[in-house]
Structure 1
Amino acid sequence: MITKLPKWILWGGAVLAFSAGSVNSIALLGFTNLSVSHVTGNVSLFSAAIAHFDGRSVLLIGASLLAFLAGSILSGFIIGQNSLKLGRRYGSALYLEATLLMLSYWLYQQHDYLGQLAAAMACGLQNAMVATYSGAVIRTTHLTGLTSDMGAAIGNWMAGRSISKPTLGFQAIIWYCFCGGGVVGAFLYAKINYAAFIVPIIIVLAAAFIYNKVSDRLPERRRPTL
């Protein structure tokens, strides 16, 4: 349960959720019409493709699912552990995510399905990178579990039970930022097509740069290897 939320987690979670919402909207509106930021819906599509013996869709959707998993594996390899703590190699992971998004942008422009895979891998990397803080599960690329947690917390509050207001507030910020990112991504895609990827790329690069600057100010014994 979160009792006090460090600003770096608050701002980091917010901007990364905004970025993921934007990327997902662009992917959904693009030529693949397939999500890159979450898995549940794609698994349902994958199951339907199997049921209808649609081999092409099975391969394409399956590859996207595996790409998301691969991104999560990369996060575990680079960062390790599963709880947020200033001083870990988040800067390296963020720069890698930005690289994947730049690659995705270029590939989507060529109408190459590998752009879908690069974007899904970037989202898997981000989602696994932001895992937990003080026992609260933090997800920045999809809202299903977060919405359920918010609903349960509100229900407990209505029943007169104590809840963690900082946790609920943070979850609400993530929800609105993901939604806002989706609005911006959809709007920009309608205006400038796949160049809309420039916004999430800049956001992730800025987050990596700022994180590294903050980490450099830590005492030497706490400074991470970036």
Structure 2
Amino acid sequence: MIYRWMHLRLTGPLLAFGGIAIDHVGPSRDFPSASMLTGLFANALGWRREETERHQALQDRLVFGALIARQGRVLTDSQNVQLKANDRGWTTRGRPDERAGGTYDSPHRRRRDYLADHDCRIVLRLTPEDEPDIGTLARALDQPARPLFIGRKPCLPSVRLFQGWLNAPTPRAAIGALGLSGRALWPATDAEDEDEGSILDLADLRNWRSGLHGGSRRVIEGEIPGGVE
């Protein structure tokens, strides 16, 4: 069966695809997680973070593959700040975010990794058919309810995110239809694809009801040869 796939391009001066954070260290994967894509779409649709059932239902419906068209370099941002009770933070909602805690005597430290000049392509569809449908997601990316960012608020896209439609039977075939070469990731649902790369258990799911990350999915990582852009 042939399906319609959305083609997304995630690129910009800085991107952050997240990863397993330990203590104050926040790494970035080379490929976006299912939870990150869910958050990107939810932000475009104007959903509130408290709408956990909506987020969970959307994440459960995502079927996608990804290809690195240009590998970025890792840029590490080390942050040290003295937090006071009356400090405010910038938000995409148009009003400052006030802190509820007290003043910290010691510096608050964080380390965050970013990908500089990275270019990642996504092929994506939704199953089962429901609302929002894939056309609604495409329109929301072109006319988002709020400003969009890729992973973290400083990571603004430098091109249109929605790049058009592809027709293909599987995620691997949809990636091939891009006409690009590079390292790719796609769901391990077709036994014929298993010879094309390494099978991994990827921990990139979020339990939106609890607010915690947990759960993994079986994927294949491999090289897509040839291709002309």
Q: What TM-score do the two structures reach when normalised by structure 1?
A: 0.28
Larger fraction in helix: 1
Larger fraction in strand: 2
Greater RCO (Cα-Cα under 8 Å, separation 6 or more): 1
